[in-house]
Amino acid sequence: MRPVFAFLIFVFISGITACGEREQVVEQQSEKRYQGKRDGKPWDSAPLAAEFRGGTWTKGNQQSWEEQIKQRQLGQHEHKRIYQ
Amino acid sequence: MARMKFLCDAERCIECNGCVTACKNENEVPWGVNRRRVVTINDGVVGAEKSISVACMHCSDAPCMAVCPVDCFYRTDDGVVLHDKDLCIGCGYCFYACPFGAPQFPQAGAFGLRGKMDKCTFCAGGPEADRSDAEFKKYGRNRLAEGKLPACAEMCSTKALLGGDGDVIADIYRERVLRRGKGSEVWGWGTAYGPGKPGAQPPQPARKS
């Protein structure tokens, strides 16, 4: 009985693993086939001076850069721009 | 962050080509190369004319990357497909593989009639040092490293062209379609959100009295 139960568990786990999405992000530096130069990360650059209106984030901090980009994206959302 | 994507709203695009102009100006793209273009169907037919702006769609499983014989393509952490021009041999395989016709080839250069491939970079530059002159000369401006979005999307006057994190622009588009109650057929609303019937429309928003 126990081997059958273990087999069923194995099949279940294999089944739900097969339904998962293949990882498609964060491949750049580990891209095995890519032969060229390594690229930098956008958040490693310092923000522009205020008059260039590039927003602000902490240099080297991915999260703060992503937050800045998200705010920028919401600028494309006229319903939010108008009603909030 | 998810993946950087473009989405063009066919109900809003007015074929002004502002995105094409913004791209050429921002990246100083040479003559004969159009990283972005506006495609119109049923041109001149009243009520049936639709336009969308097309460039590299930064595919999650990019065919250009799969066929490149010198493996000059890579994907950044935020899902932008870029390439190293120092490796590109201008063979043109990526052009045949791309379903959007995104790869462009300048008509003058080291390889005679077909130079090194040039395409939309999602305004993310290339593998040279970020915001350097070398990067600008080869790939154009790196707006992402400036905390900005692609010039074409930010310049779009009707906000037909959306660019950015796929999750965020999908939310913007979904809310827009719900408010106006139409215009999702092209993008397979029924497949994504509806009952699965072809051409299914989103529910009508409740009217305020």
How many C-beta neighbours within 10 Å does residue B150 have?
Answer: 29
Q: Look at phi and psi of residue B17 and say left if phi exceeds 0, alpha if psi is from -120 to 50, else beta.
A: left
Q: Distance from CA of residue B126 to its chain's centroid?
A: 16
Looking at per-residue confidence, does A72 or B108 come out higher? A72
This prediction has a pTM of: 0.81
pLDDT band at residue B186 using 50, 70 and 90 as cut-offs:
low
In a domain, B26, yes or no: yes
Q: Is the pLDDT of residue A12 over 90?
A: no
Local structure of residue A76 (DSSP, 8 states): T
Looking at per-residue confidence, does B118 or A84 come out higher? B118
In a domain, B182, yes or no: no
Kindly state the percentage of chain B with pLDDT values over 70. Answer: 84
What average pLDDT does this structure show over A17-21?
Answer: 69
Judged by CB atoms closer than 8 Å, whether chains meet at A40 and B78 is answered as no
ipTM of the shown complex: 0.82
Q: What is the pLDDT of residue A33?
A: 79
CA distance B8 to B12: 8
What average pLDDT does this structure show over B17-21?
Answer: 96
Return phi, psi of residue B113, to 5°: -75, -20
In chain B, how many domains are there? 1
Looking at per-residue confidence, does B95 or A29 come out higher? B95
In a domain, B71, yes or no: yes
Judged by CB atoms closer than 8 Å, whether chains meet at B169 and A45 is answered as no
Query: Whole domain around residue B120: which residue ranges?
Result: 4-168
In a domain, B10, yes or no: yes
Q: What is the pLDDT of residue A23?
A: 60
Judged by CB atoms closer than 8 Å, whether chains meet at B72 and A36 is answered as yes
Cα distance from B68 to chain A (closest Cα, Å)? Answer: 10
pLDDT tens across A35-57, in order?
888 889 999 999 988 888 888 89
Return phi, psi of residue A83, to 5°: -95, -5
Q: Is the pLDDT of residue B164 over 80?
A: yes
CA distance B140 to B28: 7
In a domain, B177, yes or no: no
Shortest CA distance from B130: residue in chain A? A40
Segment 10-49 of chain B within 8 Å of chain A by CB: none
Q: A42 contacts in B (CB within 8 Å)? A: 78, 124, 130, 142, 144-145
Q: B73 contacts in A (CB within 8 Å)? A: 34
Name which of B84, B128, B144 is nearest A42 (Cβ-Cβ): B144
pLDDT tens across B69-115, in order?
999 999 888 889 999 999 999 899 999 999 999 999 987 655 556 78
pLDDT tens across B113-161, in order?
678 899 999 999 999 999 999 999 999 999 999 999 999 999 999 999 9
Name which of A39, A56, A74 is nearest B76 (Cβ-Cβ): A39
Judged by CB atoms closer than 8 Å, whether chains meet at B147 and A70 is answered as no
In a domain, B127, yes or no: yes
Q: B131 contacts in A (CB within 8 Å)? A: 45
Q: Is the pLDDT of residue A31 over 70?
A: no
Q: Is the pLDDT of residue B50 over 50?
A: yes
Of the candidates B2, B106, B17, the residue with the CA atom closest to the CA atom of residue B60: B2
pLDDT band at residue A15 using 50, 70 and 90 as cut-offs:
confident
Q: Is the pLDDT of residue B207 over 70?
A: no
In a domain, B174, yes or no: no
Judged by CB atoms closer than 8 Å, whether chains meet at B165 and A73 is answered as yes
In a domain, B53, yes or no: yes
* DSSP codes, B89-130: ----HHHHH-TT---B--SSSTTTTS-S-B---TTB--SSST
CA distance B70 to B108: 21
Residue entry with tokens 């995105």: B19
Q: B145 contacts in A (CB within 8 Å)? A: 40, 42, 45
Judged by CB atoms closer than 8 Å, whether chains meet at B77 and A55 is answered as no
CATH, residue B29: 3.30.70.20
Q: What is the pLDDT of residue B199?
A: 55
| Three-class DSSP category at B208 | coil
